[in-house]
C-alpha cells in the first residue's frame, strides 16, 4: 500500500510493537504529528524534549521494551541529547526520532537546523539520516534491532520533513540482516569450562554483578549460581535488583558508597566472577590497588568492556543468561566457602551500614527506609542524582530486577522524575516513587504538567536539605567546608505542586514521615512530599576518589 513517510513511520513503530511515544511537536515533524492525530498509537506530550527522552528511558528500564521519543529538528533534537547520552551510558534500548529540515536545505544553516547525527554520533549506538523514503521502513527495522540486541543502546533516526511527506509503497521487512553487526550471544564453551575449573579451586570467591544481568534477564540464573557456589555476591548501582537484597548471601552494592563489607570482600577475594559489569571507576576506586588477590572471570556481551580497566584472567563474551546457564551445568566441583563466609559475616557485623538516627530531625535515610516499609519493597523506585540516589540505593532493599531506576553512567540530575513517569506508564499497577533532592527535582519539574494531564500518578519524595547535597558533601570533606554555590533557595514545593493540579505534603517532623508516605500513596493524584531533612547529612561509607576500596571514610566510627 502506498503511504507517506509519516504514516510509514507510525506503521513501522506498530510493527515493532511500540505502544507509546513520548515527545514534543515542532515545525519539522508536522507530517508525523498529523499522522499521529488519528493513529492507533498512544502519545504523551511532555513539557520538554529532555523529559520525553528520560521518560522513554524510564519506560524501557521498567519494562525491558524499547522506549521511543520524538522531537522536532534543531532545538528539539538537541534537547533530547542529554537523555540520549544517559541511555547510552547505561545501555538502555531507546529509539529517538527527530525531524530534520527538508533534505535539499540540509547544510544550508536553515531555520531550526542542527546536524543531529553529527552531534549524537558519540552518544548513540548508531544513528541514521534517512535520505530516501524507500529506506525508511528498513531503517526503522534495523534501528530497533540494533537498539535492543547485543549491548543495547539508543539509536537516533533523523527524518527530513520532505521525506515524511513523500509517498512510497510500504513494505515491512520480515527479517533483518546486517552483515557488519553480529553480536555474540553464546559464550565460548572452552572458556566456560575453564571458568568452571577456576571456580572449583577458589577459596574466597565473590560474585560481582551489574546491569547486564538485568538486561539479559539472567535473574534466576544468577541466583542459582550464587546459591550453588554458596558465595557472597555484591553488585553495582546498575545491578541493583539483579539479586534479592534480602538474601543471606547478599552484600549489597560495592564501590564509592557501597557497603564496607562488600568493599572488604572485594579486596580480599581470591576470585571475582564479574557478570554484566564493567569495572567502572566508581566501583574500583584506585585501580592499581583493586582486588589485589583476585583472579577475574569476566562475563560481558561487550568485548570492549573486557580488560579495559581491570586485567581479566578468563574473559567470556556473550549473553549473561546463556553463559550463566552453561556455567552452572559445567561446575561439578564446588569450592568450600564456609571459612570465607564466616569472614564476610564478621565484616558485616563489624561494619554495618548505619546512620545516627535522631528524634527531633528527619534523617534522609529514615525517609527511604520508611518508603521501603510502607511499600513492602514492592514499589518501583527512580532516583535523581546525588545524595538522594545513594541513599535510595543503600536504604531500600530491592529484591527484583527493574525496580530500581537510576542514572548510573552519566549521572544526570533531572532524570528521576520523567523516568518515573515513563516507568509508571509501563507498570501502571506499581507504586512508583521518585526519590529526589531539592536540586535535582527542579531540573525537570515542568513534567508535573505532563503527569497531571495524563493522570500519571507518580509520587515524589523530595529529600529537601536546601543544598546540592553531594557537591556540598565533597566541599565539606575535601574543600574545607567552602560551600561554593551549593546553597539553594527553593520554591514552596507544596504550593508549586498544587498550582499544577498535583497534591503537596510538607513533612517537618519525624513522626509524620510514615503517615505522609501512606497518605501520598492513598491520594489518587501526583504527589510531591517535601521532607525537610537534616541539612548537612552525609552519605557514608565513602571511598574518596582515587583511594583504594578499603580506604573508606566511615563517618560513624
Partner 1 sequence: MRHTISVLVENKFGVLARVAGLFSARGYNIASLAVSETMDPTISCMTMVVEAEDEKILEQIKKQLNKLIDVIIVTDFTKKGHVDRELILVKIGYSAKDKPRLDAVLNKTGAKAVQRLDDNAIIEMMGGQDGIKELLDGLKQFGIKELVRSGRIAISK
Chain residues binding partner 1 by CB under 8 A are 117-118, 121-122, 125-126, 129, 146, 178-181, 302-304, 307-308
> Dihedral through CA 518, CA 522, CA 528, CA 530, nearest 10?
-20
Nearer to partner 1, 154 or 422 (CB): 154
In three-state secondary structure terms, 281 is helix
Task: Pick the closer one to partner 1 by CB: 5 or 315.
Answer: 315
Instruction: Kindly state the smallest distance separating residue 268's Cβ from partner 1, in Å.
Output: 26
DSSP bridge partners of 463: 437, 531
**Least CB distance to partner 1 at residue 304 (A):** 4
Nearest approach in angstroms of CB 121 to partner 1 is 5
Neighbour count for residue 141 (Cβ, 10 Å): 18
DSSP code string of 93-151: -EEEEEEES-GGGTTS--TT---HHHHTGGGSSEEEE---GGGHHHHHHHHHHHHHSSS
Sheet strands (E) in 459-544: 459-464, 503-507, 527-532
Quote the cell numbers at residue 73.
529538528
Query: Is the CB of residue 408 less than 8 Å from the CB of residue 236?
Result: yes
Task: Go through the chain and tell me how many residues it has.
Answer: 557
Cα dihedral value 407, 374, 401, 453, nearest 10: -60
The least CB distance from residue 303 to partner 1, in Å, is 5
CB of 308 to partner 1, least distance (A): 6
The C-alpha atoms of residue 23 and residue 97 are separated, in whole angstroms, by 9
C-beta of 172 vs 181, nearer to partner 1: 181
- Which CB, 284 or 442, lies closer to partner 1? 284
The secondary structure of residue 84, as a DSSP letter, is H
CB of 330 to partner 1, least distance (A): 26
Cell 586485567 locates to: 311
Least separation in angstroms between residue 163's CB and partner 1 is: 15
Query: 487 has which bridge partners?
Result: 467
Q: Which is nearer to partner 1, 88 or 208 (CB)?
A: 88
Q: Which is nearer to partner 1, 146 or 458 (CB)?
A: 146
Q: How far is the CB of 169 from partner 1 (least distance, A)?
A: 23
Q: How far apart are CA 545 and CA 177, in angstroms?
A: 44
Q: Which residue, 105 or 521, has its beta carbon nearer to partner 1? A: 105
Minimum distance from residue 180 beta carbon to partner 1 (Å):
4
Nearer to partner 1 by Cβ, of 8 and 146: the residue is 146
C-beta closer to partner 1: residue 122 or 484: 122
CB of 114 vs partner 1, minimal distance in Å: 15
Question: Over 287-346, what HEC string results?
Answer: HHHCCCCCEEEEEECCHHHCCCCCCCCEEEECCHHHHHHHHHHHCCCCCCCHHHHHHHHH
446 closest CA partner among 24, 48, 53: 48
Give the phi and the psi of residue 99 in degrees, each rounded to 5: -80, 155
Judged by CB, which is closer to partner 1: 181, or 483? 181
Within 8 A by CB and 6+ apart from 52, the residues are 22, 23, 24, 44, 46, 69, 70, 71, 80, 83, 418
Facing residues of 432 across strands? 380
Amino acid at each position: 500500500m502506498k503511504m507517506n513517510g509519516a504514516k510509514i513511520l507510525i506503521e513501522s513503530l506498530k510493527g515493532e510493537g511500540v505502544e507509546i511515544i513520548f515527545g514534543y511537536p515542532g515545525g519539522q515533524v508536522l507530517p508525523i504529528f498529523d499522522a499521529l492525530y488519528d493513529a492507533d498509537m498512544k502519545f504523551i506530550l511532555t513539557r520538554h524534549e529532555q523529559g520525553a527522552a528520560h521518560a522513554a528511558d524510564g519506560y524501557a528500564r521498567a519494562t525491558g521494551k524499547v522506549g521511543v521519543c520524538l522531537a522536532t529538528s534543531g532545538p528539539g533534537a538537541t534537547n533530547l541529547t542529554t537523555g540520549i547520552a544517559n541511555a547510552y551510558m547505561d545501555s538502555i534500548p531507546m529509539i529517538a526520532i527527530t525531524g530534520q529540515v527538508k533534505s535539499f536545505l540540509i547544510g544550508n544553516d536553515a531555520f531550526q537546523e542542527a546536524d543531529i547525527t553529527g552531534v549524537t554520533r558519540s552518544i548513540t549506538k548508531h544513528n541514521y539520516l534517512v535520505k530516501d523514503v524507500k529506506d525508511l521502513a528498513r531503517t526503522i527495522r534495523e534501528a530497533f534491532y540494533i537498539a535492543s540486541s547485543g549491548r543495547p543502546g539508543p539509536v537516533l533516526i533523523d527524518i527530513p520533513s520532505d521525506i515524511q511527506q513523500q509517498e512510497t509503497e510500504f513494505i515491512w521487512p520480515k527479517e533483518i540482516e546486517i552483515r557488519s553487526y553480529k553480536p555474540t550471544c553464546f559464550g565460548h564453551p572452552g572458556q566456560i569450562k575453564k571458568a568452571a575449573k577456576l571456580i572449583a579451586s577458589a577459596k574466597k570467591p565473590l560474585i560481582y554483578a551489574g546491569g547486564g544481568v538485568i538486561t539479559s534477564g539472567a535473574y534466576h540464573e544468577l541466583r542459582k549460581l550464587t546459591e550453588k557456589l554458596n558465595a557472597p555476591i555484591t553488585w553495582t548501582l546498575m545491578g541493583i535488583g539483579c539479586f534479592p537484597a534480602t538474601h543471606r548471601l547478599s552484600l549489597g552494592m560495592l564501590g564509592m558508597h557501597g557497603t564496607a563489607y562488600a568493599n572488604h570482600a572485594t579486596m580480599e577475594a581470591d576470585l571475582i566472577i564479574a557478570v554484566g559489569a564493567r569495572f567502572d571507576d566508581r566501583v574500583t576506586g584506585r585501580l592499581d590497588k583493586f582486588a589485589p588477590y583476585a583472579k577475574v572471570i569476566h562475563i560481558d556481551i561487550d568485548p570492549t568492556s573486557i580488560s579495559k580497566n581491570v586485567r581479566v584472567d578468563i574473559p567470556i563474551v556473550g549473553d549473561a543468561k546463556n553463559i550463566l546457564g552453561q556455567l552452572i551445568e559445567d561446575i561439578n566441583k564446588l569450592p568450600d566457602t564456609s571459612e570465607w563466609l564466616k569472614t564476610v559475616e564478621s565484616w558485616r557485623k563489624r561494619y554495618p551500614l548505619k546512620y545516627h538516627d535522631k528524634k527531633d530531625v528527619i534523617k534522609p535515610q529514615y525517609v527511604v527506609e520508611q518508603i521501603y516499609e510502607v511499600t513492602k519493597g514492592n514499589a518501583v523506585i527512580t532516583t535523581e542524582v546525588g545524595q538522594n540516589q545513594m541513599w535510595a540505593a543503600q536504604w531500600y532493599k530491592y529484591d527484583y530486577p527493574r525496580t530500581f531506576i537510576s542514572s548510573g553512567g552519566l549521572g544526570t540530575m533531572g532524570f528521576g522524575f520523567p523516568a518515573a513517569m515513563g516507568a509508571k506508564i509501563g507498570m501502571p499497577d506499581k507504586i512508583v516513587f521518585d526519590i529526589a533532592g531539592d536540586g535535582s527535582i527542579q531540573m525537570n519539574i515542568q513534567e508535573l504538567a505532563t503527569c497531571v494531564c495524563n493522570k500519571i500518578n507518580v509520587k515524589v519524595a523530595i529529600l529537601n536539605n536546601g543544598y546540592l547535597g553531594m557537591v556540598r558533601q565533597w566541599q565539606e570533606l575535601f574543600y574545607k567546608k567552602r560551600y561554593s554555590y551549593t546553597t539553594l533557595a527553593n520554591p514552596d514545593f507544596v504550593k508549586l505542586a498544587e498550582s499544577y493540579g498535583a497534591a503537596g505534603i510538607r513533612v517537618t517532623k519525624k513522626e509524620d514521615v510514615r503517615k505522609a508516605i501512606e497518605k501520598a500513596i492513598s491520594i489518587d493524584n501526583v504527589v510531591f512530599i517535601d521532607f525537610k531533612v537534616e541539612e548537612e547529612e552525609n552519605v557514608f561509607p565513602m571511598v574518596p576518589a582515587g583511594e583504594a576500596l578499603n580506604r573508606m571514610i566511615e563517618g560513624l566510627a
